[in-house]
Amino acid sequence: MAAPPPSPHPRWSWDDSRPMRWVRRSFGYSRGEARGLLGLLSLMLLTVVAPLLLRPELPVYLPEADQKGVDELAAQLKDHRTVEQGFASRYPRREFRKFERNAPRYPAVPRVRLSPFDPNALSAESWEARGVPHFVAARLVKYREAAGGFKAKAQVKKMYGLDDSVFQRLAPFMQLPDEAPRRDYAANRPGPDGKFPPFAAGDPAASKFPRKPRHLQPFDLNQADTTQLMQIRGIGAGRAKWVVKYRNQLGGYLREDQLDEVFVLRDAPDLRDSLKKYTYVAPGFAPKTVNVNTATFDELYLQPYIGKPRARVIVAYRQQHGPFKSVEDLKQLPTLKPADWEKMRPYVRCE
């Protein structure tokens, strides 16, 4: 059977297109590779263009509808805006009074005719009635109460805010001396023999500041109370309390040089020397000791030579290894130095 004659119009093929021939000729691709490259490029182009073509239409903004909704919401808020009664009664709204220009801020006090008066007996209104401004009058009364009364006119003159013209007008009528009497310091100076004169009878300083004896006999440091310690010159109530407090924490002083460890005496070597001069430790004194096997952490750390770090170590060692058999076992503690052991030894026991 004979083959059909060729068609005068050959069928068009993608492989015979101009882009395909250009790709195959330029890159040396085969027909299948050229098809894959062009298909990939087509897919990439479709990926870029499709979102632009398929993007939904943007909504149309209608400002009139939005404005109408805002107006309705504002009207609802205005209708429902109410003040809670409990809040209003607990926190009432303050109304500020507007003062007119040159109008007095405080109620006017009627003036009185000047006559002799005692500044220590006037109230704030009485000072205002004599021409003193309101805030200065209150300041005068407050100062008088704090100072225990005016002693001289000079104290009133130095009051802050008091105009000098006002003081000059009131000064002739004040029943006070111009200046306060000077103190007689000569009465407190030592005499030719180097001794201070005794306090006069009824002098409050005689009971507030009792004179300390010049010839003081030494006393037992572990038996003395604060009153006895205060007889030493330079030792007041505060330092005496610290000496007794540290003695109670220790369990008693064994040496006089332990006074150097008192907090308030560390920077006062002259006071420590005075204490060592007029005190002593009785021979054979036995201090109060703490049992390291039964004492709790709170009882151990109060001992100054133990403290909190060593108290924790003692309690932990006791829990792990059992009670201490002797005081010498404390040397096994890793944080205990030989010097600290010598200080601690008289104040601990094992039972």
pLDDT single digits (tens) 302-333: 888 888 888 888 888 888 888 888 888 888 88
Q: Compute the average pLDDT of residues 100-116.
A: 74
Q: What are phi and psi of 70, to 5 degrees?
A: -65, -40
Work out the percent of the chain whose per-residue pLDDT is above 90. Answer: 2
The answer to which of 125-129, 135-139, 189-193, 296-300 has the lowest mean pLDDT is 189-193
The pLDDT value recorded for residue 95 is 59
The pLDDT value recorded for residue 85 is 46
Q: Cα(321)–Cα(194) distance, rounded to whole angstroms?
A: 67
pLDDT at residue 3 is higher than 70: no
Q: What is the pLDDT of residues 234-287, one digit of tens each?
A: 888 888 899 999 999 888 998 888 888 888 888 888 888 888 888 888 888 888
CATH fold of 290-349 reads DNA polymerase; domain 1 (1.10.150)
pLDDT at residue 195 is higher than 80: no
Q: Please enumerate in sequence order all residues whose Cβ is within 8 A of that of 65, keeping only pairs 6 or more positions apart, or say none.
A: none
Q: What are phi and psi of 322, to 5 degrees?
A: 90, 180
The pLDDT value recorded for residue 274 is 86
Q: Does pTM top 0.75 for this prediction?
A: no
The pLDDT value recorded for residue 84 is 47
Question: Alpha helices, DSSP H only, in the chain?
Answer: 18-27, 31-54, 63-80, 85-90, 124-129, 134-147, 153-157, 164-170, 204-208, 226-229, 237-250, 269-278, 297-301, 307-321, 338-344
Dihedral in degrees, nearest 10, Cα atoms 149, 151, 154, 156: 20
Encode burial over 215-252: b for 16+ CB neighbours within 10 A, e otherwise: eeeeeebbebebebbbbbeebeeebbebbbebbeebbb
